[in-house]
Every structure is written in C-alpha cells, then in structure tokens.
Amino acid sequence: MKLSKRTDGIKPSITLALAAKAAAMRAQGVSVINFAAGEPDFDTPQRIKEAAVKALNQGMTKYTEVRGIQQLREVIADKYQREEGLKYTRDEVLISCGGKHSLYNVFQAIFDEGDEVVIPAPYWVSYRDMALLAGGIPRVVETKRENGYRITPEQLQAALGPKVRGFVLNSPNNPTGAAYSPDELKSLAEVLESHECFIISDDVYDKLVYDDFEFKNIVSINSKLRERTVIINSLSKTYSMTGWRVGYALGPTPIISTATKIQSQSTSNPTSFAQAAAVEALQGPQDEVAEMVREFQRRRNRIVEGLNTMDGVECLMPEGAFYVFPRIGALFGKKTKSGKIESASNLTDYLLEEAQVVAVPGEDFGAPDHVRFSYATSFEDIEKGCDRMAAALKKLD
C-alpha cells in the first residue's frame, strides 16, 4: 500500500513510547523507576480543576472560536506584558491543543519546501520531524558541552546560510535543561538581526528555572526581532496540565492568522472547558508553581550528585526544566553479561533490564553519547534509582 512520502523518515515520539513501556511494566508488577516522564508528577492544582467543573456546569460544552476564547487570549497577552514588557493584542495569540500543536501549525504556516531550519542539538525530539513535515530541511548545529549545550553567536552566524528561513530557540531546553541568560540572548539576537529568518522561541519551561536564574524571552531583549518571532508556550509543564492540552503561540498577525487557518481545517478549537481552566491557571495565585519549582530544584540537586558519583557518567547542573542529560560515552566498549555497550540505547536497555530503570537514550535528541533522565518523579525514587544504577554500572567490565 502506498502511503504519503511526507511521512517517510518521520519517527514516532520515543519519549512517549518509553513512558508507555514503563507504565506497562509497572502494570505487570515490576518495580520500575521511571526517569522517562516528560511531565510533572504533581496533580493539577485543585483551583484549576474546579474552574473546569464550573465551566462544564455552566454549559461551556460547545465549540469555541477556533483560535481560542477571547478571555484566555487576553490573559495570555497580559502575562507577556506583565512579565516581559511585551505588547501583544488578543489577535496575536492562538490557543491550540498543547504547545506541540501550536508549534506544528506555526511550522506549517511559515515554511516551504526546501527551507532550512536551524536547530541546535541536543534538541527536543519533535522539531526535526515538524520541520520535515512542513517540507523543511533541519540544519542541526551541535552545541558543545563546554558551552553548557548552548549555541554560541559564532556557531549561529556560521549556520545562517542563504536558505535558512528559521531558527528554533528552546530555553530552558529539553533535554539538557540549559537556559540562556539575558546577555547570551543579546548576543544571539545581534546575529539574528542581520539575517532575515523566523525565530521560534519555545518557552514551555519558562517558569521552571532554579537558583534565581532569570528567564527572559529574546523579543524582550531585542524588540527588532518581534516581527519575525513566534513565542510558543503551554500550560502543560507550569501547571501540571499535560493531559488538558492547552498551549499557545504569540506572534505577528500574518503568522498567527495563517496558523489559525490551518487549525481551522484540522482540530478547530482546543477543548472549551480546558480553556476556562487555563484562564484560572494563569490568573489565580501562583503558589503551587513556586512550590513545585522548590521541589524540582531539590530533586535536580540530588540526581546530579548521584549521577556524578558513577564512573563514566558526567552530568552538568542544568538551569531549568526537569531533565538532566549526562554524557555517558565513556561507558562505550564496556561489557555486560551478554554483550557490549556500544550506544546510548544499549545503555538504556541495560539499565532497564539490570536496574529496572527507564531513561531515554540520546540518539533522538541528536546526542548519541548522552542519556536523558527526567526528575519529574519522587525524591525517594531518585535515590533508589541512583543506587540501582550505580550497582548496575559497577557490574560492567
């Protein structure tokens, strides 16, 4: 059977596949420690759930405007005014079924066949495939560990060839947790000023930063980039609302209306009462977010410490998100009972078998000698998981 050429070379999301594997093993009674999760392990705050229930009881069960309800678009514009000093009107906001959906619509809206998209690696698994699905060509730029996995202005300059029409900036980053300081953004913005391309600023982890790190968006650092930047954000990570599917894009009207047109011919509006919950999430007291950040920071410190005591594992301290991304290349060539560790996938398979620990191999993030661990799991599991991994790695020859 002939299927579309467009989907050749597109991979299913490995992170979702591994999370499903961990859940299946748990259901069979295996005591699995899951470091694969791409979502906070906290419940959605009660006040947000109650807002959805209230909306349902008030009959908010119909289609809404395709681009999302006016109130939510206004609340989002207010957030950017308050936090970043950026002025967006409600017509410059599109609400979608998660940040991923916004990103997909925006990629479809701005890229044409053959357009190159600069994606710094390590990267979140979906950018590459989204660029391909839009007919684009991913131009992956490998960042360096000594630069904290951040693209440098020199690297960006060198990558911005004549066919480049997009640059993806993800800070804090999934999978490395690396975030760009205002000064670093300023230097990147100077390079971008002289190259006419779209900038996709994926800020879904903007609130999950540690040790007083100051998050800033690149447009608030350099307003000249506003007319060609799209900001992507989401309720998923900040408010533990991954299942609700509410995310959004902010940007100039031509891009937002084109992305909305695409959304109108695919999903239509995001779920009505989830939008009401999102209004409450963004407008209500933010204490739960602060509490979650405190707990994530404690866990981050513990897992980094634990991983760095293991021979062959080298882990930087990330500024944000809830992932750590140690380099494990020093373990390549080591022998297990039945074979050899020759790749990150071999290592994660070994950890699953020997330690019942699930982690995501780095290949699909564009970093084949790294492994991603999510610390969106309990402190106890982090301690137990580190002990089990340390014991398993000691058995390697």
Give contact residues for ligand PLP (rule: CB under 6 A). Answer: 38, 98-100, 124, 170, 174, 202, 204, 234, 236, 242, 247
Q: Looking at the DSSP assignment, which residues form a beta bridge with residue 198?
A: 166
Angle CA(131)–CA(132)–CA(138) in degrees, nearest 5? 60
Residue 2 C-beta: closest distance to ligand PLP, Å: 31
Strand positions, DSSP E, the chain: 33-34, 93-96, 116-121, 137-142, 164-170, 198-202, 229-234, 247-250, 323-324, 357-358, 360-361, 371-374
Q: Least Å distance between CB 260 and ligand PLP?
A: 17
Minimum CB separation of residue 246 from ligand PLP in Å reads 8
Taking only Cα atoms into account, the Rg of the chain, rounded to an integer number of angstroms, comes to 21
Beta bridge partners of 162: none
Measured at the alpha carbon of residue 209, what is the angle toward residues 204 and 214, in degrees to the nearest 5?
A: 100
Residue spans of alpha helices (H) in 9-89: 14-27, 46-57, 70-84
Minimum CB distance to ligand PLP, residue 125 (Å): 8
Report in angstroms how near the CB of residue 204 gets to ligand PLP at its nearest.
4
Distance CA 120, CA 159 (A): 10
Give the residue with the Cβ less far from ligand PLP, 322 or 350.
322
Q: CA 142 → CA 163, 177, 281, 283, distances in Å? A: 19, 16, 36, 39
Per this entry, what is the length of the chain?
397
The distance of closest approach from Cβ of residue 159 to ligand PLP in the complex, given in angstroms and rounded to an integer, is 20
Residue with Cβ nearer ligand PLP (188 or 208): 208
Give the residue with the Cβ less far from ligand PLP, 170 or 272: 170
| Two structure tokens written together for 18 | 């591994």
Closest to 171 measured CA to CA, from 180, 158, 182, 161:
180
**Torsion from C-alpha of 96, 97, 102, 107, nearest 10 degrees:** -120
Task: Give me the residue label for tokens 């060839």.
Answer: 161
Shortest reach from residue 363's CB to ligand PLP, in Å? 17
Q: Which is nearer to ligand PLP, 34 or 236 (CB)?
A: 236
Using alpha carbons, select from 218, 242, 211, 105 the residue that is nearest to residue 170.
218
Ranked by CB distance to ligand PLP, the top (closest) residue is 98
Minimum distance from residue 340 beta carbon to ligand PLP (Å):
32
Inter-helix orientation angle 46-57/272-283, to 10°: 140
- The verdict on whether omega for the bond into residue 153 sits within 30 degrees of 0, i.e. cis, is no
Q: Which is nearer to ligand PLP, 217 or 242 (CB)?
A: 242
Between 132 and 386, CB nearer to ligand PLP: 132
Comparison of 241 and 392: residue with beta carbon closer to ligand PLP: 241
Give the shortest CB-103-to-ligand PLP separation in angstroms: 6
Minimum distance between the CB of residue 149 and ligand PLP, rounded to whole angstroms?
Answer: 14
Which stretch of DSSP H or E encloses residue 345?
Answer: helix 344-355
Helix (H, G, I), strand (E, B) or coil at 339: coil
* Distances 323 to 45, 168, 375 between C-alpha atoms, Å: 22, 19, 6
| Joined tokens for residue 252 | 């100039």
